[in-house]
Amino acid sequence: MSDKSHSKSNYQRNILDNLNTSVVLLNADLHIEYINPASENLFQISSRQAAGAKLDKIILVEQAFKSRLLYAINNFHPISEHEACITLPDGREIIVDYALNPLQLADQQMQLILEISHMDRHIRIAREEKLLSEQSATRNLVRGMAHEIKNPLGGLRGAAQLLERELPSEDLREYTQIIIGEADRLQSLVDRMLGPNNLPKKRNINIHQVLEHVRQLIQVELTEDDHIDFTLDYDPSLPEIMADSDMMIQAILNITGNAVQALAGNGEITYKTRPLRHFTIGHTHHRLVLQTDIIDNGPGIVTELQEHIFFPMVTGRAEGTGLGLSIAQSIINQHGGLIKMSSHPGKTIFTIYLPLEYAHG
């Protein structure tokens, strides 16, 4: 091995050693080839003890889990699961998110990478419950306020129109027009604050058509000085989803519009779609889920905003209303889906998960 490749593999090993995620490398017979230190910690076993042992040595492999492992290997297909329960040999049960990724390097036997992130279920549920109750409290407050503003607005606008008809001089129309124009602006703001009111009109739609539509809407808004490139990484094998096309366009437009604003005329937006097998959204386990990522290489979301980014009225822009993401979230929730965000300078990802199995139901 040359010095260079030696130091490269040391470097890669170093990364694995420092990951918080547990990584287990398995061969096709489900024997352990390697575990990283995070796995040593989680499973209370040294990598030397683990190497060569059956997976059972660290996880009690029940039938459902085994069939997923075999499915991933036999079909060379990645699988991930959210909030899965796994049992350790000492009987302890832990809740984890895991991903199975088959790997085949040239002239080597097939291997399987098992990545596990452990999250204490109680902490997670408590945190999600707190978030949900905060969200619904804020939403109620916002809707209440929006209703209170909406009612007198109609009267205000009507009175300005009546006044306009009685004006002694045309010059004064300028003022009534301001009242009417501002009342209309406020009206559309409160309509947005109230959010989508109708139930989604679901039919079979192609997610790629939705994404393409949004891309065109964005592109016609760009000027000659803007250099925003779109990278499209679509999985063409994806089935259609049962969804309200206009609502999906709205949700994806809100997210992409933010990315365009963050890029300030220069950067790249990536649309990526993938199927996910065996994925849990909330408490529901789905056989097939559509994952759509909207990625930009802009400056990232300000750290202080990140925790509450989906709340209404949370904005980092002077002229922003802070409604775009909360509307996107309620649309995705109405479709039984989930929306997540991760952001740091140079990479912001909004991920939408939507259940797929009823697409043809």
Ligand X SMILES: Nc1ncnc2c1ncn2[C@@H]1O[C@H](COP(=O)(O)OP(=O)(O)OP(=O)(O)O)[C@@H](O)[C@H]1O
Q: Which residues would be at the binding site for Mg ion (CB under 5 A)?
A: 258, 324
Structure tokens belonging to residue 255: 């997210």
Among 81, 83, 115, 296, binds ligand X (CB under 6 A): 296
- The 8-class DSSP code of residue 60 comes to B
Distance, in Å, from the CA atom of 33 to the CA atom of 54, rounded to the nearest integer, reads: 9
Contact 134, 145 (CB under 8 A): no
Distance, in Å, from the CA atom of 113 to the CA atom of 79, rounded to the nearest integer, reads: 11
346 makes contact, choosing from ligand X, Mg ion, none, with CB < 5 to 8 Å by partner type, with none
Q: Quote the least distance from Cβ 208 to Mg ion, whole Å.
A: 23
Under rule CB under 6 A, residue 334 binds ligand X = no
- From residue 241 to residue 280, what is the string marking binding to ligand X with x (rule CB under 6 A)? -------------x---xx--x------------------
Distance, in Å, from the CA atom of 194 to the CA atom of 201, rounded to the nearest integer, reads: 18
Q: At what angle do helices 324-334 and 245-263 cross, to 10 degrees?
A: 150
Distance, in Å, from the CA atom of 288 to the CA atom of 279, rounded to the nearest integer, reads: 7
301 makes contact, choosing from Mg ion, ligand X, none, with CB < 5 to 8 Å by partner type, with ligand X
203 makes contact, choosing from ligand X, Mg ion, none, with CB < 5 to 8 Å by partner type, with none
Distance of CA 159 to the CA centre of its chain: 45
Maximum distance among all Cα pairs of the chain, rounded to whole angstroms: 94
The site for ligand X, by CB under 6 A, has a size of 22
Under rule CB under 6 A, residue 301 binds ligand X = yes
Under rule CB under 6 A, residue 194 binds ligand X = no
Under rule CB under 6 A, residue 339 binds ligand X = no
Q: Quote the least distance from Cβ 350 to ligand X, whole Å.
A: 7
Distance of CA 314 to the CA centre of its chain: 18
Q: At what angle do helices 121-166 and 173-194 cross, to 10 degrees?
A: 160
Under rule CB under 6 A, residue 320 binds ligand X = yes
Q: Quote the least distance from Cβ 320 to ligand X, whole Å.
A: 2
Please, which residue, 135 or 348, has the CB nearer to ligand X? Answer: 348
Under rule CB under 6 A, residue 332 binds ligand X = no
Binding site for ligand X (CB under 6 A): 254, 258-259, 262, 296, 298, 300-301, 305, 309, 314-317, 320-326, 348
